[in-house]
A and B are shown apart, each in its own frame.
Chain A
Amino acid sequence: MAGNTGLYHPSYEHDSCGIGFIANIRGSKSHPIISDALTVLENMEHRGACGCENNTGDGAGIMIQMPHEFFFDECLKLGVHLPSYGKYGVGVIFFPKEIRLREECRDIFNRSAEKLGLEVLAYRKVPVNKDDIGYTALTVEPEMEQVFIACPDHISNPDDFERKLFVLRNYASHTIHETVKKDAIGFYIASLSYKVIVYKGQLTSLQVRRYFPDLSNKRVVSAFGLVHSRFATNTFPSWKLAQPFRFIAHNGEINTLQGNLNWLKTSEKCFTSPYFSKEEMEMLLPIVTEGQSDSACLDNMIELLTLTGRSIPHVMMMLIPEAWDDNTEMDPVKKAFYEFHSSFMEPWDGPASISFTDGKVIGATLDRNGLRPSRYCVTTDDRVIMASETGVLPVDPSIIKEKGRLQPGKMFIVDMEKGKIISDEELKKQICSQKPYGEWLNKYKIRLEELPEPRVMFTHLEHDQVFKYQKTFGYSTEDLDSIIAPMAIEGKEPVGSMGIDTPLAILSEQPQHLSSYFKQLFAQVTNPPIDPIRERLVMSLATFVGNNGNMLMEDPLTCHSVALKQPVLNNHDLEKIRSIDTGQFQAKTLQCYFRADGKPGSLKSALDRVCEYAVDAVEDGFKVLILQDRAIDSNHAPIPSLLATSAIHHHLIRKGMRGQVGLIVEAGDVWEVHHFACLIGFGATAINPYLALSTIRDMKETGRLQTEEHEDQLKKNYIKAVKDGLLKVFSKMGISTLQSYQGAQIFEILGLNKDVVNKYFSGTTSRIEGMGLDEIAKETLTKHFFSFSKKDIPVDRLPTGGVYQWKRKGEFHLFNPQTIHLLQDSTKRNDYSIFKKYSKLVNDQSEKACTLRSLFQFKSTRASIDINEVEPAENIYKRFATGAMSFGSISWEAHTTLAIAMNRIGAKSNTGEGGEDEKRYEPLANGDSMRSAIKQVASARFGVTSLYLTEADELQIKMAQGAKPGEGGQLPGHKVDDWIGRVRHATPGVGLISPPPHHDIYSIEDLAQLIFDLKNANRQARINVKLVSKAGVGTIAAGVTKAKADVVLISGHDGGTGASPISSIKHAGLPWELGLAETHQTLVKNKLRSRVVVQADGQMKTGRDIAIAALLGAEEWGVATAALIVEGCIMMRKCHLNTCPVGVATQDPELRKRFTGDPDHVVNFFHFIVQELREIMAELGFRTVNEMIGQVDNLRLRDNITHWKFNRLDLSPILYKEPASAYTGLYCSEEQDHGLSDVLDWKLLEAAKPAIDEKKNVIASFDIKNTDRTTGTILSNEITKKYKGNGLPDDTIHFNLTGTAGQSFGAFTTKGITLELEGDANDYFGKGLSGAKLIIYPPASALFVPEENSIIGNVAFYGATSGESFIRGKAGERFCVRNSGANVVVEGVGDHGCEYMTGGRTVILGDTGRNFAAGMSGGIAYVYDVKGKFAESCNTEMVDLDECDLADKNELFTMIQAHYGYTGSTVAKFILDDLDNQLKNFIKVFPKDYKKALKQTVLPKENVRR
């Protein structure tokens, strides 16, 4: 793997996959099990990926039981007589290819075995068939050998032998990695066990069977086969990252890995276990070695906990717990189990479907949010088939006993020794009652509310002191009025708009808060963010303060710590903890200050001192450390709390003591949500923001808060805002619990140097260096001396801030009165000389640096040319796009003006996520067109119909948005007028929610699926994937390219927005310079660059910005805010209030009249920008844009950078040029192969020809299997091309299909199509349904009861806009999510049913899971609730549960009648036969807003009647 001179780093890699297993319930071993498991693997080919070559896979493999007879024979051939089963172990070793290295490794392995008293019997070379294995994979193919090791006679229990093998594996691996010179492959042991064996490699899933001839040998038998197919974001060869590992196959991502590893590291010091001697334990450590994937680390952890005496299901429950906190329905025994374990083990959090085995039981579990699909089926011949998809193994329907799916947080086990399947309920009941966890908690858990009153009361701050502290800690009036006041009054984080155009913290001249150098990371593509409001039930803020103990043993005392419901402590709670004394639990307060002498080293010695004191305190037995910064005076300044906390946290980790104490921060410099998030992310357990709380009291007392509420209530509101804000920060990354966020360091640092980061924020990404400790001290002292001034000039106001609004004495803004005026003036007058004045002000940041690019200057590497030799401007316009701004967030006038202007110059405008009015598809009389070339597909899928997709030149999948990556949005009801409602397929007046994730993209292979869907929906359109810059975006972009995107857009963090929480605008995401450079470097390194167009956007304002983007690797560019300003925007930053005074970001008809924008002005602007770009090209000697892409050697650092703060930034990683051969493409020069050539739709299209040509009715039949994905979509595209939105008359085309449908069955299918499927289907059934009818029922020969079994997968009818469907059986999670118009009947659904639904009708003739109707603002659901338990599982925040009236009865009758007619459902029959009686069992789920909106439209009519 290459070094890290550039921005790429191997640690950013992600993977995701398909998994599955087949097991014989009775444990009977056979060869067909293995052969079938390989078939399962082969049928999940589309879930894996291949790299730059089609025959180099990302990795695939299989785990089976030990084939004793086979090995016995094989060893005889080697002249070795194997002992009986259980008396020997087999290891699969990847040796280096080079003989000398190999033998060195072998030698160490043998000696290690000897040291442990184990005898190596033989080595067997694993036979492999290298035909058709990709070149890249072959270059690093290891020498695979199997080692046979005898069990010593004195060990009678095979499990003890297994432990010895574990020690051997770790010890040998550690020793070899330390002593043998590192080579390209490394030594790796895939498995070493007496029970199981793993065959895997960097193969495609189709190659596994051929590569390992052993697997085809009939004597190789097993009772199970566990398979895995990997999709990685890179193309670098790595055989060892293939799965399965030794215990698990994992489909998912551990979001909290860094934290989990830190906590593990700190606990290792306390490890003791009766199963391992002290010496063995030392040989085992470290449990997790560096350079592994997240899944591999999890496997190591599971192995450790299993081999130290817990059963594997028990371990899974510890590491991937259900959502127990706040779940009132959970059995208290189970809850106690989870709570007890949470006192010392934080969840390994993230989306996960895990198949696991210890060789005797095999099972699977799903994360608490159910973000990965897992379908299973049980047959009459005792087999269980479990996989990411149904239909992966052809099974005769007549032998299927049961078809189901794994539910969120649930587990099931096949116990092959006992010969039975154990359900989640039975299994967990047994595990949870094995120890009296509840009693232990009662006895030892310390509850904050039960603690005695504090011994001393806290120090009260008077007005003058509050003011003094505010100055010291850097509060501005903006912080008071725009941040703290809204939090205290409304209990919510304030909202802002229009992005950010202020300097990065490291470039700012205003003294910064230390946390401003920390950028929040967020989930993007490889894992989904969570909706912390609508899916609150999976989130938790509970935590424990105190000692974690030894996690290898079950000790009641491990829960003797303070249980907190949430991490923000008021003063009273804090004092209680400070005074705590249970006899074995006390707290110690440490003062965090440094000498304010401005001398080098003062801060460092202060940190050394507090770290030392912290160690002393832990050694003295204190269980809680309180880090306090109150004790400051003119000579002693506060250590920034984030620095103090993280320094102590990491110091204690290094000492192995962190697990023994809780860290509470009592700090004045904590007031924004981001400050809290940083502290928790770097190790704080709880926080007391004493100054923020005092500030609220003071503002209330001085009348600055316009509210009647009492001070205590205001503080509660503030804490609530912090709590909700924290949940949002976690969920942005896809993390659901505070405990796993704690210490997880989910940040990238921008502007601190390596010494500081390595020592105090160890393990955090920081790529461009920056300030050292002395500079941090200097910045802190600036604030300190503002307060403790030696001069006595009375300063009686706080600084203004000027971050969210331009202020003369505040922060610098690129868009300021001067630049806005010049830009508008120049484009209105069409005067390039004025534009040059504007661009000079923006570009020349030598006085005040603002962006990273401001630190660059051009450097000619070739002779300048005349500007006439540069390609003409007309060639360049097409490379421009305007940003995605929805009709809804901006006005019709503003939206169409941009579209017209862009169409005039051949560039592209973007719909944004609000759909598009059909009338824009017709050209205007003067030849102009209002049609947006780019149609955005965002998470809410507003107005995404077959027509919308067909009318696009480019389809953009918005994975994230610069202003608020990882978050959803909300269009308030007052902005949804009739027009917008129509375009978005929503009810006017009803608020609309955009979910944080795309519910059909939880991982990279899901994104590949959506790209495939969209390509089917419009083969001519380019598919563009929009990403936001962050560390690792390059590897994500590589994955996106492998997922077959045509364009990848890298957005900067600073992009504009209609509305976003202020802290997200400022603290999430990175500048595009970093993301773009990383993307280009990584794509070149992976040889993928030529397959994809790279686009960049984010506050691009001038030709110079564009030129720099081109040199860093972008051949296309987006401009949004500047274009809006040209249209008349004056950066009011009130978009979210609907009061834009210039008619740009408002729907108010009066204000819209004030709009004065003109397409001519916008055209002028692009003329100017391109002119300036061409001037730069001439100067640098580039004739075409293509020539300059990625030619980063034409940039260098400005040489006049002298500012004390940023003169030590190291931007060389951005300016690094990835070496490439002459044949490696540096810009997009080839087309992606989208694999459409052999899809089923071509057959459908052929059969439908008479219907499309002549509207004749057609009927035909087809077979279908799970690899037939996205069925009916090309057909619909062809119909839409001809018949637009009208489609064909109902039922013109009727196709009967038999078998298992792949994902996205019937996606975006239009009116006139009926698809009738006998069999079952996978995820995304009916996605984006646009008028078609989908019918599905089980095969006639099936034995199971249809209504009790799963027939379709998760996320059905996502974003459906019209059409009908009838489903004879159960659906999975998130049924009808964001449905805005389809009418559907189903016989049971999983969790989160009808989430965010805004229209249509859903009839559910069976059970529903939890959290039904969350965020549902329109449409109606009828739930047949015979058990009377529906109300408990419904989220009634936005809906009423009503009885059905006569109109409902008619509607129900019609739909159920149709359901019966199409599917023959016996449930439907029973209800129809007894409708009058059964009607009372139906609950009408009626959204409150929708009801209100309906009343408002109905009332006037009623008045007329009267």
Chain B
Amino acid sequence: MGKPTGFIEFTRELPGKKPVDERRNHYNEFVERYPEEKLTQQAARCMDCGVPFCHHGCPLGNVIPEFNDAVYRKDWKEAYEILDSTNNFPEFTGRICPAPCESSCVLGINQPPVAIEEIEKHIIEIAFEKGFVTPRKPNLRSGKKIAVIGSGPAGLAAAAQLNYAGHFVTVFERDDAPGGLLRYGIPDFKLEKWIIDRRISLMEEEGIVFKCHSNVGVNVHINDLLREFNAVVLTGGSTVPRNLEIPGR
């Protein structure tokens, strides 16, 4: 797997950033992409550990050594499939996850850890560019209908998985567009909104229905939902920020 001596030969490098002068003019993302050689070098630093602590550290259980190896081999499709097998939205996590995988990385014991999050982002963006990411519809529909309430990360993930399982899924969102925290809590320089739109339209093509301006309990009656759907999934987030209990606040 990968290059056995990669971690000795290469050190950690992150992609470049757009010049400050340019950055001043907009709120968009400013981290650039690796050139291909740099990307595979960074993937080659993965040691394919016998006990991959990164894989343990990742809350999703991303199979990190495997996709690193696929990136090293420039097998973009394979890399995407591995990533996709544990992660519905790598384009989000690749940008905004605090990356506990990197703090668990074994190489990190005595060297800078593998740039896992960047690699993750590159895999999914390359997959979009190369057209690997296509809507996948279940072959057989179960006939069951499910309501998902809330379109934040949890709601979207639940919707995607239930849809793959063959159920008809409708997502209810009280705001004017789906995404929840992704859309309304994270600034553009971390996550531009077209990225969310790209995913939502894929999900729509896969058969998921999004109903915005639908505030369940307010303008959507709960009894209607219970009557109309076989199951209801509550995936609401919190609009109450967590206060920092320190003096002077």
- A1137 at the binding interface (Cβ < 8 Å): yes
Of residues 531 through 574 on chain A, the ones whose CB sits less than 8 Å from some CB of chain B are none
A1374 within 8 A of partner (CB): no
B50 and chain A: residue at smallest CB distance: A1133
Q: Mark A1133-1146, 1 if CB is under 8 A from B, else 0.
A: 11001010110000
The stretch of B17-25, B90-98, B105-113, B174-182 that contacts the partner chain: B105-113
- The reply to whether the CB of A1130 lies closer than 8 angstroms to some CB of chain B is yes
Which residues of B (56-102) have their CB < 8 Å from a CB of A? 56-57, 61, 63, 65-66, 73, 75, 78, 81-82, 85
A1139 pairs with B4, CB closer than 8 A? yes
B49, A1132: Cβ atoms closer than 8 Å: yes
Q: Chain B residues near A808 (CB, 8 Å)? A: 55-56, 61
Determine if A704 and B78 form an interchain contact, defined as CB atoms under 8 angstroms apart: yes
Tell whether, in the assembled complex, residue B139 and residue A807 are in contact, meaning their CB atoms are under 8 Å apart: no
Q: Is B106 touching A1141 in the complex (CB atoms < 8 A)?
A: yes
Q: Residue A498 at the B interface, CB < 8 A?
A: yes
Q: A807-825, CB under 8 A of B: which get 1 and which 0?
A: 1110001011110110000
Q: How far is the CA of A17 from the CA of B47 in the complex (A)?
A: 52
Q: Contacts A794-B136, A807-B63: A1131 and B50 contacting too (C-beta < 8 A)?
A: yes
Tell me the nearest residue of chain B to A806, going by C-beta.
Answer: B51
Do A794 and B164 form a contact, CB below 8 Å, given A805-B51, A1151-B8? Answer: yes
Task: Tell me how far the C-beta of B66 lies from the nearest C-beta in chain A, rounded to whole angstroms.
Answer: 7
Q: Residue of A at shortest CB range from B161?
A: A793
Interfacial chain A residues near B230, Cβ < 8 Å: none
Contact indicator A792/B104 (Cβ below 8 Å): no
Min distance, Cβ A320 to any Cβ of chain B, angstroms:
45
Q: Are B104 and A817 in contact, with the CB atoms below 8 A?
A: yes
- Within the assembled complex, what's the spacing in Å between the Cα atoms of A821 and B57? 12
In the bound assembly, the distance between CA atoms of A804 and B52 in angstroms comes to: 12
In Å, the complex CA distance between A704 and B69 comes to: 11
The answer to whether B109 touches A797, judged by C-beta atoms less than 8 angstroms apart, is: no
Interface size class of A (residues with CB under 8 A): 35 or more
In the complex, chain A residues whose CB is within 8 Å of the CB of B63: 800, 807
A813 touching B140 by the CB < 8 A rule?
no
Q: Which residue of A lies closest to B69 (CB)?
A: A481
B165 at interface (Cβ–Cβ under 8 A)?
yes
Q: Knowing A808-B61, A1134-B50, A1151-B8 touch, does A1141 contact B165 (C-beta < 8 A)?
A: no
Q: Flag if B52 contacts A805 (CB, 8 Å).
A: yes
Contacting residues, chain A, for B140 (C-beta < 8 A):
792
> In the bound complex, how far is the Cα of B65 from the Cα of A1132, in angstroms?
12
CA A192 – CA B49 in complex, angstroms? 68
* In the complex, chain B residues whose CB is within 8 Å of the CB of A820: 51
**Distance A806 CA – B61 CA, assembled complex (angstroms):** 12
B55 and A498 within 8 A (CB): no
Cα(A800)–Cα(B5), bound, Å: 24
Chain B residues with Cβ under 8 A from A1154's Cβ? 110
A44→B109 CA distance, assembly (Å) = 62
A782 at the interface (CB under 8 A from B): no
Q: Among the interface residues A477, A703, A796, A805, which one has the most CB atoms of the partner chain B within 10 A?
A: A805
Q: Which secondary structure dominates chain B's binding surface?
A: loop
B7 contact set on A, CB distance < 8 A:
1139, 1141
Among B48, B57, B106, B138, residue most surrounded by chain A Cβ atoms (within 10 Å): B106
Known A817-B53, A817-B56: A1132·B166 in contact at CB below 8 Å: no
Interface members, chain A 636-662 (any B CB < 8 Å): none
Complex CA–CA separation, A336 to B56 (angstroms): 62
Set of chain B residues within 8 Å of A813, measured between Cβ atoms:
51
Q: Name, among B50, B55, B164, the residue most crowded by chain A CB atoms within 10 Å (CB to CB).
A: B50
Question: Which residues A1477-1506 have CB closer than 8 A to chain B?
Answer: none
Instruction: Please report the C-alpha to C-alpha distance between residue A1423 and residue B110 in the assembled complex, in whole angstroms.
Output: 54
Closest to B6 in A: A1139
Docked Cα-Cα span, A88 to B78, in Å, equals: 84
Residue A584 is within 8 A (CB to CB) of chain B in the complex: no
A498 CB, min distance to chain B CBs, angstroms: 6
B1 within 8 A of A: yes
Q: How far is the CA of A1475 from the CA of B158 in the complex (A)?
A: 90
The residues in A between 760 and 808 inclusive whose CB is less than 8 angstroms from any CB of B are 791-794, 796-797, 800, 804-808
Q: Which of A704, A791, A1139 contacts B8 (CB 8 A)?
A: A1139
Cβ of A329 under 8 Å from chain B: no
A706 on the interface (CB 8 Å rule)? yes
User: Nearest chain-A residue to B109 (Cβ)?
Assistant: A1142
A1150 at the interface (CB under 8 A from B): yes
Apart from A791-B166, A1139-B8, A1141-B106, list 16 A-B contacts with CB within 8 A.
A498-B50, A794-B136, A796-B81, A797-B81, A800-B63, A804-B50, A806-B55, A807-B55, A817-B53, A820-B51, A821-B53, A1130-B49, A1130-B53, A1139-B5, A1141-B107, A1154-B110
List 19 A-B residue pairs with CB atoms under 8 Å apart, sorted by A's residue number.
A704-B75, A706-B73, A792-B138, A792-B166, A794-B139, A805-B52, A805-B65, A806-B51, A807-B55, A808-B56, A809-B61, A816-B56, A817-B51, A818-B56, A1130-B106, A1139-B7, A1139-B47, A1141-B110, A1141-B111
Question: Residues of A with Cβ closer than 8 Å to B?
Answer: 477, 481, 498, 703-704, 706, 791-794, 796-797, 800, 804-809, 813, 815-818, 820-821, 1130-1134, 1137, 1139, 1141-1142, 1148, 1150-1151, 1154, 1156
Chain B interfacial positions (CB closer than 8 Å to A) = 1, 4-5, 7-8, 47-53, 55-57, 61, 63, 65-66, 73, 75, 78, 81-82, 85, 104, 106-107, 109-111, 136, 138-140, 164-166
